[in-house]
Amino acid sequence: MHDFTAVFEALEHCQTTASQFLKTVLTHRQYDDQPIVRDLLLHSTEVLGALLAHPIKTWDFMQCCAKLISDLYLKEICHTASEDGGWHFGALTATTQQLEDFNLDDMARDIEAHAPGLWTFVGLFLQCDEKQKGGSGGNLGTEKDVDADVVMDEQSMDMEEDYWNEGR
């Protein structure tokens, strides 16, 4: 175990707290090149993990973490759904050609690339759903293709094809 007495004394000498010091060096760009800042950023997941593992953490801290993550996902969702994001859909103005050209795989790849937090979060929900169903995709069967997508049985595929061919 290291003796940090000199660090504590230095903070006291500067009339600052550890939290004030960290907030300042992490939010003022003038300190970006300091070794301590580079080290904090390099090990930020470990630092956050230590804060989360501390037995005296508060509910407020957990709520703050959840809010920060929620805000990140919301920002990713808003960008993805915006016209600039490329996946904005106007049901009233959509053409048949746009519907026919739509490719779910393209959309999934784009969301994975441009909204990685959201992509991971949705993946967690799907894993949870899969576990609750005992590994089965409902009435779709359990066989999966190379991409780990559930393979539909013939009856389900016929029903889906009939649905999409109905109004033609």
Q: Domain locations in the chain?
A: 1-53, 59-131
- For 45-110, the DSSP string reads HHHHHHHHH-TT--HHHHHHHHHHHHHHHHHHHHHHHSTTTT----TTT--HHHHHH--HHHHHHH
pTM above 0.85, yes or no: no
Residues pairing with 150 in the sheet = 144
When mean pLDDT is compared across 55-59, 72-76, 117-121, the lowest value belongs to 55-59
Between 160 and 29, name the one with better pLDDT: 29
Q: Do the Cβ atoms of 88 and 81 come closer than 8 Å?
A: yes
127-140 pLDDT per residue, tens: 876 666 665 444 44
